[in-house]
């Protein structure tokens, strides 16, 4: 994997190679750590990159830190500016992924119960091209693993430890020949995938589980619901979904920062629609890509310009 020139760690921008920790810090270090996954999209005509919903991601970062009781030493405003500075320093002129991470900086040997609230913070950026409109499709299954719930390990926030649940489900799905698992929550209703929310289309309506159905409060999910409602005039429902509703859905897709919109064409080998990317999914992909890249002027509040254009002029 290629790395960027610089990252930001605990207050300074530094060469990627210089950000090292001692090997004894492995172990409990990421229990309770939280992170964000953010994308920025390059617009060739504007010679500018736009970060998608940066304030919303940084607000969730703050909320995740609060939930795991990590103290926020750096203000959200400062971290936001740091991200833009880091992208400029790395001179990315492409689609990228940005990952701020906050971990318990207790030092070696503290164990999982050491209760220092001091956070170490790392931010790195790396190229990640969009896969929207590339024809990527997934075969899904319903997992035999149950999604973690609010009283177990709250899926509402982006806690690294939560991903063990999704990792088990993904391993099982992949071994059994599926691309992605859908996890049921403890009410035995559809929750989400291991790293993305799920939506389905039935009779022209766009339907997705609600934010209290054991899902991450996804920023992409929220954007797609707004696009569906406001730009496509679709009826949108946020409600519990039965497993068999997925089998008879006309269309389905995963959505999230990494997943963007990834069409799902079968669930437990029940083919959805004609087995190709459905018409509503395709329309949503078109609008979403334009909005992300800024070639579609709608939803300007969702795009934070990085400042690469000014940099090129200077
Ligand atoms: N659910 C899970 C478990 C995730 O990891 C993600 C990716 N962050 C999502 C949903 C989608 O969230 P977002 O749109 O905010 O990236």
Answer yes or no: is the C-beta of 219 below 6 A from any ligand 1 atom.
yes
Same domain, 172 and 266: yes
Residue 72 domain-assigned?
yes
Mean pLDDT along residues 20-39: 87
User: Are 103 and 146 contained in the same domain?
Assistant: no
Kind and range of the H or E element at 206?
strand 205-208
Secondary structure letter of residue 272 according to DSSP: P
Which pair of structure tokens corresponds to residue 242?
Answer: 């039965």
Domain's final residue, options 108, 127, 146: 127
3-state SS of 60-120 is HHHHHHHHCCCCCCCCHHHHHHHHHHHHHHCCCCCCEEEEEEEEECCCCCCCCCCCCCCEE
CA of 155 to the centre of ligand 1 (A): 10
For residue 193, count other CB atoms closer than 10 A to its CB.
28
Which residue did the predictor score with more confidence, 35 or 115?
Answer: 35
Pocket test of ligand 1: the residue of 33, 34, 35, 37 to mutate, having most ligand atoms within 8 Å of its CB, is 37
Identify which of 52, 145, 159, 216 to mutate to test ligand 1's pocket (most ligand atoms within 8 A of the CB).
Answer: 216
Residue 138's pLDDT is what? 98
Q: What is the pLDDT of residue 109?
A: 55
CATH number at residue 27: 3.30.470.10
- Which atom in ligand 1 lies closest to the alpha carbon of residue 215? 1
Phi, psi of 187 (to 5 degrees): -90, 5
Question: Which range of residues forms the domain containing residue 169?
Answer: 138-293
pLDDT for 114:
67
Q: Per residue in 262-313, pLDDT tens?
A: 999 999 999 999 999 999 999 999 999 999 999 999 999 999 999 998 887 7
pLDDT digits (tens, 9 = 90+) for 64-91: 999 999 999 999 999 999 999 999 999 9
State the pTM of this model: 0.96
Q: Tokens standing for 56?
A: 């919303």
- Calculate how far, in angstroms, residue 193's C-alpha sits from the geometric centre of ligand 1: 9
State the pLDDT at residue 25: 77
Q: Which two tokens stand for residue 107?
A: 């030092």
Predicted confidence (pLDDT) at residue 168 exceeds the cutoff of 70: yes
Calculate mean pLDDT across residues 117-126.
93
Cα of 147 vs centre of ligand 1, distance in Å, is 14
- CA-based nearest residue to 310, from 95, 87, 98: 87
158 assigned to active site: yes
Q: For ligand 1, is residue 220 a contact (CB within 6 Å)?
A: yes
Q: What is the pLDDT of residues 234-251, one digit of tens each?
A: 999 999 999 999 999 999
How close is the Cα of 298 to the center of ligand 1, in Å?
A: 23
**Which CATH number belongs to the domain containing residue 237 in this structure?**
3.20.10.10
Confidence of residue 260 (pLDDT cuts 50, 70, 90): very high
């Amino acid at each position: 994997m290629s790395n960027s020139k610089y990252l930001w760690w605990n207050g300074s921008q530094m060469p990627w190679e210089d950000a090292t920790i001692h090997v004894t810090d492995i172990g409990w270090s990421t229990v309770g750590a939280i992170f964000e996954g953010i994308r920025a999209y390059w617009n060739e005509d504007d010679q500018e990159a736009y970060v998608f919903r940066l304030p919303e991601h940084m607000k969730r970062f703050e909320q995740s830190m609060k939930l795991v009781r990590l103290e926020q030493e750096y203000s959200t405003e400062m971290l936001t500016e740091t991200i833009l500075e880091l992208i400029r320093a790395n001179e990315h002129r492409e689609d990228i992924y940005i990952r701020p991470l906050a971990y318990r900086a207790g030092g070696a040997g503290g164990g999982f119960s050491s209760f220092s609230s001091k956070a170490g913070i790392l931010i790195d950026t790396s190229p990640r091209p969009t896969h929207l409109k590339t024809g990527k499709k997934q075969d899904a299954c319903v997992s035999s693993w149950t999604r973690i719930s609010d009283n177990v390990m709250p899926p509402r926030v982006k806690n690294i430890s939560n991903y063990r649940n999704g990792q088990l489900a993904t391993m099982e799905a992949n071994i059994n020949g599926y691309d992605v698992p859908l996890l049921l929550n403890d009410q035995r209703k559809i929750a989400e995938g291991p790293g993305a929310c799920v939506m389905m289309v039935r009779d022209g309506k766009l339907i997705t589980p609600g934010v209290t159905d054991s899902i991450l409060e996804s920023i992409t999910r929220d954007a797609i619901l707004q696009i569906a409602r406001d730009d496509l005039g679709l009826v949108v429902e946020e409600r519990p979904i039965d497993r068999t509703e997925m089998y008879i859905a006309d269309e389905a897709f995963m959505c999230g920062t990494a997943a963007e919109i990834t069409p799902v064409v079968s669930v437990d080998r029940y083919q959805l629609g004609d087995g190709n990317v459905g018409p509503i999914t395709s329309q949503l992909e078109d609008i979403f890509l334009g909005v992300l890249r800024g070639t579609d002027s709608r939803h300007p509040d969702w795009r934070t310009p990085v400042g690469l254009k000014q940099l090129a002029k200077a």
